[in-house]
Amino acid sequence: MKTLVTGATGFIGTALLSRLLQEGLSVRAASRRDVVTLPLGAERVVVGDLSGNTDWRHALANVETVVHLSARVHMMRDAAADPLSEYRQANVEGTRNIAQQLASAGGRRFVFLSSIKVNGEAGVFRESDAPKPRDPYGVTKHEAEACLRKIAAETGLEVVIIRPPLVYGPGVGANFGSLMRAVAFGVPLPLGAVHNRRSMVALDNLVDFILACIKHPAAANETFLVSDDEDLSTTDLIRRVARAMGRPARLVPVPSTFLFGAAALLGKREIARRLLGSLQADISKARQVLGWHPRISVDEGLRAAVALVGSSGKSH
């Protein structure tokens, strides 16, 4: 029987495919278009865009487990006329559709990559906390989770929900990539006096955790938070990124209250919240139920992440 990975050509999907193949699993990779080279040994199936109408019958043939990574991801500036509707079509209806088809095809387990944003935007979170999503991405991930639990109850499909915080590793983009480039360029950063605490998860650790959720019997019908189990302030993160690069950390100690105020004036509240606010994931449940511990340390994860960023700040 096969494991199907959706979103297989993305940042997380490519790393997961390689690990599953290393573990000797028979893997099928679902992609929207036939344009990306896959790791040797992975079978490809092209399914088109993710929606409630996607036909998964060919992709799900002889599939026991689906790892569903494909989604409409969080965007800082969403140009869609109705962002929530667009998110729902992919993240809710698309997820419901593939899970229902897997159950109908006799599949056993559906591993769903959700998000810590289901819990909220700030605080110390556990799986048992009441969800408080604030943006369309978080709202639709929460709605997708509810759909999956309903399908599990009605069909017996085993559902495993994973809520990661920020994921970093080789090839990471977005704000984390920008931060690494700033350090590589030696840009002075006004973040030398930030005393927040934020959870992150290295790509290797997330992939290792997904593998545990594929294999472990006790993962069935559970929700898990995952992280590196070492929360950092933004100031400490920048210092460690610089150390991983062998570069100096050019930090200017500016009070967080001033930075929040300046960000509000510039319309950058979202970026400021991520850099200055606290968000922590308690992974006690993952340790207790699955016996899982992070495979690598934060510093190891950062060394892997910066390996593709040269001293010019460009990716290789």
pLDDT tens digits along 6-33:
999 889 999 999 999 999 999 999 988 8
Average pLDDT over residues 185-203: 95
| Residue 267: band (very low, low, confident or very high) from pLDDT cuts 50, 70, 90 | confident
Active-site annotation holder among 11, 125, 137, 292:
137
Confidence category of residue 308, pLDDT binned at 50, 70, 90: confident
Question: By the 8 A CB rule, do 294 and 205 touch?
Answer: yes
Tell me how far the alpha carbon of residue 61 is from its chain's centroid.
27
Residue 312 has pLDDT above 60, yes or no: no
Residue 237's pLDDT is 96
Distance, in Å, from the CA atom of 34 to the CA atom of 38, rounded to the nearest integer, reads 10
- Picking from 293, 307, 282, 279, the residue whose alpha carbon sits closest to that of residue 123 is 279
Mean pLDDT of 102-110: 97
- pLDDT over 80 (residue 316): no
Q: Is 266 helix (H, G, I), strand (E, B) or coil?
A: coil
Query: What's the length of the chain?
Result: 316
Q: How far apart are CA 99 and CA 103, in angstroms?
A: 6
Say what the pLDDT of residue 75 is: 54
SS3 at position 288: helix
Strand, coil or helix: what is 191? coil
2-163: CATH topology is: Rossmann fold (3.40.50)
Q: Are strands 166-168 and 63-68 parallel, antiparallel or unpaired?
A: unpaired
Are residues 113 and 67 in contact, defined by beta-carbon separation less than 8 angstroms? yes
| Rounded average pLDDT over 54-64 | 95
Predicted local distance difference test score (pLDDT) of residue 21:
94
Domain extents in the chain: 2-163, 172-199+230-284+296-306
Residue showing tokens 């892997």:
304
Contact, 13 vs 33, CB < 8 A? no
Can 168 be counted among the known catalytic residues? no
> Model-level pTM?
0.92
